[in-house]
Amino acid sequence: MGDYDNLRLFHTGDHACGYWPDRTARDLVFDPHDERLAQVYPQALQWGFRRSGDLLYRPHCNGCRACVAVRIPVAAFRPDRSQRRTLSRNADVSTRVVPVERNPERLALYQRYLAWRHPGGGMDNHGAAEFDQFLIGRWADGRFLELRRDGRLLAIAVTDLAPGALSAVYTFYDPEALSCGPGTLAILRQIEWAAREGRDYLYLGYWIAGHDKMDYKRRFRPLEGFDGRSWRPFDAWEAA
């Protein structure tokens, strides 16, 4: 890693898995107090790491390798029929890339989303402090991609900028806007953003086979997955 040879990595202790309630998990985490996290972040993305707030981590669980880091090669992406329909029926939805700043409108959207998506799960009582800690962080070069229809805020995709890439960190949306497919639309608009700027990849975080909330990522093709050493075409995981 050159200048980063002395970066420290830690194993977390066992904790409840955020995806499978009957499993425990542990993560590999860069030292969160290191002042060089912003510099190492682009390389860490290529090693399958992901950002959550100020933490730069990847799952490293005993006996489980279900979480596969995935990314879209932007220049090769072609929307399928369903994705083309999503783009067509949302042609009137505007896209705006703005600084990562909390305001009452964005916080209210975040809280509505959590109350619907994670009822009673501990996240549904998040307030301003949790918004800042989880979505903004201290060191990442992030943006909010806002989706609006007739001025109404439908969704926000928290997106990090890295040399040659964008990283989709988190997306939250109005539960009443489900009919427009806000999650899919947000990814499609992030792909368009990356293509406009000549970026090679959009990182999507982790895909988990058989998990309802994560399986949608496999519909964006072509897709690549990280096997711990290199990025390979996603077909290798579907064939396993």
The predicted model scores a pTM of 0.94
At residue 229 the predicted structure's pLDDT band, cuts being 50, 70 and 90, is very high
In the chain, the largest separation of any two C-alpha atoms, in whole Å, equals 51
What pLDDT, in 10s, does the model give residues 124-173? 677 999 999 999 989 999 999 999 999 999 999 999 999 999 999 999 99
Element housing 106 (H / E): helix 104-117
Region for residue 34 given its phi and psi (left: phi exceeds 0; alpha: psi -120 to 50; beta: otherwise): beta
Q: Is the pLDDT of residue 239 over 90?
A: no
Query: Could you give the domains of the chain?
Result: 71-204 (3.40.630.30)
What pLDDT, in 10s, does the model give residues 77-125? 999 999 999 999 999 999 999 999 999 999 999 999 999 987 765 566 7
Say if CB 181 and CB 45 are below 8 A apart.
Answer: no
Identify any residues that bridge with 99 across adjacent strands, giving them in sequence order.
143
Using alpha carbons only, give the angle 159, 162, 168 rounded to the nearest 5 degrees. Answer: 25
